[in-house]
Chain A
Amino acid sequence: MHAATDKTLCVVLGSGGHTAEMARLLQGVEFDRYTRRLYIVGEDDALSLDQIAAVEVRSSVYSGEYFVERVPRSREVGQSWASTPLSVARCLARTARVLLYHRPDVVLCNGPGNCVVVCVVALVPRILGLKRIPIIYVETFARVRTLSLSGKLLYPLADRFIVQWPQLLDRYPRAEYIPNLV
């Protein structure tokens, strides 16, 4: 019955604040259309799992299933720069394996550190002419005048770039301003 709309939504989650906000944003998404949700979580995020469960619990009777995949950080704070290429490679490899296995149809993120890697890897199938996986970026409510680092990096790459304060439109005209999302 739902075969025509069996889509996989990939949501990138980070620490506390980002996840709490993402849970609010997801209230606006029909899980009956995205019958598989893939949550990519940073390795050290215990807080997010409780919140994912809370987000998922509110869904209707038939709304598919969800998966949680942990991905190591590309670099730890204070890590030596000599070892960084190796940890970045590990992170990229793990992310690629996760996306290859779950084959998401769309990626939604709101700025935690790991989202840049996920989005970059999600762009590869498009570059290779295989599959377009749209990237939807929503800058956090906390950013009024400046973009976060993830936002700056993903502004040229995202298919839709949403900001929650109008002041950001001056410097980022390609962004879409939507108030009262959270």
Chain B
Amino acid sequence: MSVYVTVGSTGFDALVRAACTREFLQALAGQGFRRLVVQCGHSIGLFKPPTTRSETFGIAIESFDYTSRPQRLVEQADLVVCHAGTGSILEALHSGTPAIVVVNRALMDDHQSEIARELAKDGFVVVAEPATLASAVSECAYAALRPYPAADPRPIGEIIDEETF
């Protein structure tokens, strides 16, 4: 099983650091994950996973700055860990892959975590902070998430038609 960690189009230092800790890798191994892929964005310099097999708990680790096909990697993974950006959250919700959304308390703008917490309340995602990421994996709440309803943007087309014609 594989995990895909994504920070989106900028960077997320705290998440990238949390994604290479022994604690996190141990939690992943404990849940049966064998592969970790991390999209680091600007934070690529901070991704320094351990190199010995015992310290990585047998997990194969890959990382890169950016990808042109984020949707594909999200769909292929068995678990997604993403930042609380709307785009990443929507990709995760529609992919069918369970998601842990990581909020960034360092950003003073707390409306960022509004969407993550609301979706977590409704049972669609798990919400965590970088410091609690490993325990969010161990608790395995992501295995009991509800599937997210398919999108239907046609009402927008209808509203535009009503006003224009």
Spell out A's residues near B (CB within 8 Å). 5, 7, 9, 16-17, 20-21, 24-30, 33-34, 47, 105-106, 108, 134, 136, 138, 140-146, 159-160, 162, 165, 176, 178, 180-182
Contacts and interface: CB of A to CB of B under 8 A. Distances in A.
A108 B160 contact: yes
Nearest 4 CB-CB pairings of A with B: A28-B153, A134-B163, A20-B87, A28-B154
A146 to B, nearest CB: 6
Interface stretch (B27-35, B107-115, B138-146): B107-115
A106 B86 contact: no
Contact of B163 (A27, A106, A142, A144): A106
Nearest to B158: A28
B118 interface: yes
Interface in B120-165: 149-165
A165 B114 CA distance: 11
B71 to A, nearest CB: 11
Contacts of B76: none
26 contacts: A9-B160, A16-B87, A20-B87, A24-B153, A27-B153, A28-B152, A28-B155, A29-B157, A30-B157, A30-B161, A105-B164, A108-B156, A134-B160, A141-B90, A142-B111, A142-B112, A142-B114, A143-B111, A144-B115, A144-B118, A146-B111, A160-B159, A160-B162, A180-B150, A180-B151, A181-B152
Given A5-B165, A25-B153, 5 more contacts: A21-B90, A29-B156, A108-B156, A136-B160, A145-B111
B156 A162 contact: yes
Nearest to A181: B153
A139 to B, nearest CB: 12
Interface string B63-94: 00000000000000000000001110010000
B9 interface: yes
B163 A181 contact: no
B163 A160 contact: yes
A134 B165 CA distance: 10
Contacts of B86: 17, 20-21, 140-142
Name which of B114, B158, B159 has the most chain A CB atoms within 10 A of its CB.
B159
Given A7-B164, A24-B90, A134-B164, A180 B157 contact: no
A176 B160 CA distance: 13
A159 B163 CA distance: 8
A141 B87 CA distance: 10
Nearest to A50: B68
Contacts of B85: 16-17
A17 B163 contact: no
A111 to B, nearest CB: 11
B104 to A, nearest CB: 14
Contact of B161 (A24, A33, A47, A138): A33
B164 A162 contact: no
Contacts of B156: 25, 28-29, 108, 136, 138, 162, 178, 181
B159 A162 contact: yes
Name which of B115, B118, B164 has the most chain A CB atoms within 10 A of its CB.
B164
